Chains A and B, each alone.
Chain A
Amino acid sequence: MTTQVSAGRRARAGVRLPARTLGLGLATTYLSLVVLLPLAAVAAKGSAGGLSGLWDAVRAPESAAALRLTVGAAVVVTLVDAVMGTAVAWLLVRDRFPGKRLVDTLIDLPFALPTIVAGLVLLTLYGPGSPVGVDLAYRRAGVVAALLFVTLPFVVRTVQPVLMELDADVEDAAASLGASRWVTFRRVILPALQPAIVAGAALSFARALSEFGATVLISGNLPFKTEVASVFVYGRIESDDIGTAAAVSTVLLALALLVLVALGLVQRWTARRG
C-alpha cells in the first residue's frame, strides 16, 4: 500500500490525476487479491520442488495421460466448435425458420446451466440405458460430447454479431465480379468472420481445458482412459498429493494463459485493419 500511496503522490504533483491514480490502485489491488495472488500461489505450489520437480510430477504416467486426454479432447472440441458454431450462427442470422427465436435463446442454456446438471443430462441421454440407444459412458467420446455441450455457445455468440453487421453490399460486389456463392463465402465472408471464430474457439478451448462438472459423471474418470486433468487434480487433492495437483494445475494455467495471449494478439492484428 505504501508504494501505491507514494506513487499516487508523485502523479498528483506531476500531472494532477488523483482520480486516475486512485482508480488504478484500486483495480490493481482488487485484481491482485482475486486473480493474480491465487494464480501465483498455484504456480508457486506447483513449482515448490523446483522446475524439475514440477516436470516430474507432470510427466508421471497418470498425470501425463490426463493432460494428454484433456488437451486432445479440447483440440477436437475446439475444431468442431469452430465449424459447427459458425454454421449455427449462420443459420440463426441468415435463415428464417419457425422457432428461430427459441433456438436462439436455447444456445445459451449450456452456458447458464450448472455444469453438473449438464453432466446429469448427458448421462441420462447418452449413458447406460440411453433412450436414443447411444451409450458414451466411460468412453472418451463421452468426454468430447460433454465438452461439446458446454462449449457450444462460445463460437456461436462471437460470430453471430459479426455476421449480422456484415455489409450485404460486399457480397453483391463479389457476385457482380463473378464470384460464386462458395467463392464469396471462402474469400470474402470467412476472412471477415475469422477473428470472431478464433476468439470464440479460444474461449471454447480454455473452457474445455478446465471443464469438471459436465465430464465427471459421464466419463467415469477411469485413469489412463477417461480421466480429464481437472478431475485428476481433484483426485490428487483428495489423496493429499497437493504437489502433483498443483503441478498439473500450473500446466493448465499456462496453457490457458497462452491461448488468451494468442487471442489478444489476433485481436490486435484485426483491430489494425479496421
Chain B
Amino acid sequence: MSIQVNHVFKRFGDFVALDDVSLDVPAGGLTALLGPSGGGKSTLLRVIAGLEQPDSGTVEVEGRDVTGLTPQQRSIGFVFQHYAAFKHMTVAKNVAFGLEIRKHPKAEVRRRVNELLELVHLEQFAERLPAQLSGGQRQRMALARALAVQPEVLLLDEPFGALDAQVRRELRTWLRRLHDEVHVTTVFVTHDQEEALEVADSIVIVNQGRVEQAGTPRELYDEPASEFVMSFLGPVTRFQGQQVRPHDLVLHPEVQGAAVGAVVKRVTRLGFEVRVDMEAEGEPLWVQITRAAAAELDLEPGDVVGVTVSTPAPVA
C-alpha cells in the first residue's frame, strides 16, 4: 500500500516538529526516514501511524484519507525503539495479542503465531517471558507481533537504536531479507546513514521538520539537493569554499593549469583506500584515493601536489 503525506504541520508548544511535510512512499518498498535527532522523523512516523494527530495536512494510505482515523482503525504495524513488550505475557502471547483481541479462532491464532515465530527464528522461545530474551530477540518478537495482524503498512521507529553494533548489523541484513519475503510497505526511522544506505530502497532526508530530499540512495549520494544532504550522507570535505566528496578530488604530481597547490600533512592507509590529509590555501582538506594512485604518487608528508575536482560538479 502506498502512503501519501500532504502538507503536514505539527507543533509541540513552541517547537515546530513538522513544517509543511509532503511525502510519497511507494507500495511495497522499504523506505528510510533519515536525519539528525530531533529533526521530526519520529513525529512524522507517528503521524502516519495515527499515534499523533497533525495540526493540519492529511495522510493517505492507498489513496484513502486516514487522517481522522485512530491507530486502531488504521491497518498498521508499529515497532518501537525500546521494544514495548508486554512484559507479563509470554513471547507467544505477545505475538498473539492482535489476533486474540480480534477474536480469531484459537487454532488459527496458534498456527499463525507458530508461523511468525518461525519467521523471526524465535520458535524455541515461545513460552519465555520478554525479560528472558536479549535485546535483538525482543525486537524480533516485537516485529512478529506487528506482522501478526497483517498490516498494510509496517512502521519502525529506530528499531535497532537500542542494540549494540554487532546485533544491529545482523538485524539490518535480516530486516532486508524479511522485507524481500513479506513485501509489506515498510518505513523505518534511523539517524544512521550506513543503516539507511544498506537497507532502504529509498531514503527521505528529514531535517528541522522539513523534507530535505527524497530519492534512491544513489540519487541522494550523487545528486544531493543541498549541502546538508551531502554532508549527512557520505563523507565530505571543503575545497575552494565548496563541499566535495573526498573521492571526487584528483591529485597530480605537479601544480599545473587549474590545479590548486596543497601540502601533504599525513597519509593513512585504510585497507583498499588511502586517506590523504592536506592543507590548501590555508584550509584543511582531505582526499580518498586508491592504493594504486597512492603508490604512483608516492606521497610523503611535506610534498606539494596539485588538486583538481573530477565530475560530478560540487554543490554550491
The residues of A with any CB-CB pair to B shorter than 8 Å are 167, 169-170, 172-180, 183, 187-188, 191-192, 273-274
> Nearest A residue to B46 by beta-carbon distance?
A172
Q: Which residues of A contact B51 (CB under 8 A)?
A: 172, 175-176
Listed from nearest, the 8 A-B pairs whose CB atoms lie closest are A274-B131, A177-B98, A169-B84, A176-B78, A173-B84, A175-B71, A191-B88, A169-B80
Interface presence of B76 (CB below 8 A): yes
Known contacts A167-B82, A183-B101; A176/B87 CB under 8 A: no
> Nearest A residue to B129 by beta-carbon distance?
A273
> Nearest B residue to A181 by beta-carbon distance?
B72
Number of interface residues of B (CB under 8 A): 29
Q: Which residues of A contact B82 (CB under 8 A)?
A: 167, 169
Question: Total contacts A to B, CB within 8 angstroms?
Answer: 69
Ordered by A's residue number, 18 sampled pairs between the chains whose C-beta atoms are within 8 Å are A167-B82, A169-B82, A173-B80, A173-B84, A175-B51, A175-B71, A176-B49, A176-B50, A176-B71, A176-B77, A177-B97, A177-B98, A177-B101, A177-B149, A179-B98, A183-B101, A187-B97, A274-B87
Are A178's CB and B98's CB within 8 A?
Answer: yes
CB distance from A224 to the nearest CB of B (A): 45
Which of A176, A180, A187, A191 is within 8 Å of B146, CB to CB?
Answer: A176
CB distance from A29 to the nearest CB of B (A): 39
Known: A177-B146, A177-B148, A178-B72. 15 other contacts (CB 8 A): A167-B84, A169-B80, A169-B82, A170-B85, A172-B49, A173-B142, A176-B49, A176-B71, A178-B98, A178-B101, A178-B102, A178-B149, A179-B101, A187-B97, A274-B129
CB distance from B309 to the nearest CB of A (A): 47
Interface presence of B242 (CB below 8 A): no
Are B97's CB and A172's CB within 8 A?
Answer: no
Q: Which residues of B contact A188 (CB under 8 A)?
A: 86
Are A179's CB and B72's CB within 8 A?
Answer: yes
Q: Which residues of B contact A180 (CB under 8 A)?
A: 72
> Nearest B residue to A178 by beta-carbon distance?
B72
Are A173's CB and B78's CB within 8 A?
Answer: yes
Q: Which residues of A contact B145 (CB under 8 A)?
A: 173, 177
CA distance A176 to B50 in the complex (A): 8
Which of A167, A169, A174, A274 is within 8 Å of B97, CB to CB?
Answer: A174
> Nearest A residue to B83 by beta-carbon distance?
A169
CA distance A187 to B88 in the complex (A): 10
Interface presence of B70 (CB below 8 A): yes
CA distance A78 to B88 in the complex (A): 24
Are B78's CB and A179's CB within 8 A?
Answer: no
> Nearest B residue to A188 by beta-carbon distance?
B86
> Nearest A residue to B148 by beta-carbon distance?
A177
Are B72's CB and A273's CB within 8 A?
Answer: no
Are B84's CB and A187's CB within 8 A?
Answer: no
Known contacts A178-B72, A178-B149, A180-B72; A172/B78 CB under 8 A: yes
Are B72's CB and A175's CB within 8 A?
Answer: yes
Q: Which residues of B contact A175 (CB under 8 A)?
A: 51, 70-72
Q: Is the interface of A mostly helix, strand, loop or mixed?
A: helix
CA distance A191 to B50 in the complex (A): 25
Q: Which residues of A contact B146 (CB under 8 A)?
A: 176-177
Q: Which residues of B contact A178 (CB under 8 A)?
A: 72, 98, 101-102, 149
Most interface-central of A169, A170, A177, A178 (chain B CB within 10 A): A177
> Nearest B residue to A167 by beta-carbon distance?
B84
CA distance A178 to B151 in the complex (A): 11
Map CB proximity to A onto B130-156 as digits: 1 under 8 Å, 0 otherwise: 011000000000100110110000000
Are A172's CB and B80's CB within 8 A?
Answer: yes
CA distance A173 to B51 in the complex (A): 10
Q: Which residues of B contact A177 (CB under 8 A)?
A: 77, 97-98, 101, 145-146, 148-149
Within 8 A of A (CB), among B93-143: 97-98, 101-102, 129, 131-132, 142
CA distance A192 to B148 in the complex (A): 23
CB distance from A168 to the nearest CB of B (A): 9
Q: Which residues of A contact B149 (CB under 8 A)?
A: 177-178
CA distance A169 to B288 in the complex (A): 44
CA distance A179 to B70 in the complex (A): 11
CA distance A173 to B149 in the complex (A): 12
> Nearest B residue to A270 by beta-carbon distance?
B88
Which of A167, A176, A191 is within 8 Å of B76, CB to CB?
Answer: A176
CA distance A177 to B146 in the complex (A): 7
CA distance A170 to B81 in the complex (A): 11
Q: Which residues of A contact B84 (CB under 8 A)?
A: 167, 169-170, 172-173
Q: Which residues of A contact B88 (CB under 8 A)?
A: 191-192, 273
Q: Which residues of A contact B131 (CB under 8 A)?
A: 273-274
CB distance from A16 to the nearest CB of B (A): 36
Known contacts A178-B102, A183-B101, A187-B101; A172/B71 CB under 8 A: yes
CB distance from B125 to the nearest CB of A (A): 15
CB distance from A36 to the nearest CB of B (A): 36
CA distance A167 to B88 in the complex (A): 13
CB distance from B78 to the nearest CB of A (A): 4
> Nearest A residue to B100 by beta-carbon distance?
A187
Q: Which residues of A contact B142 (CB under 8 A)?
A: 173
Q: Which residues of A contact B49 (CB under 8 A)?
A: 172, 176
Q: Which residues of B contact A273 (CB under 8 A)?
A: 87-88, 129, 131
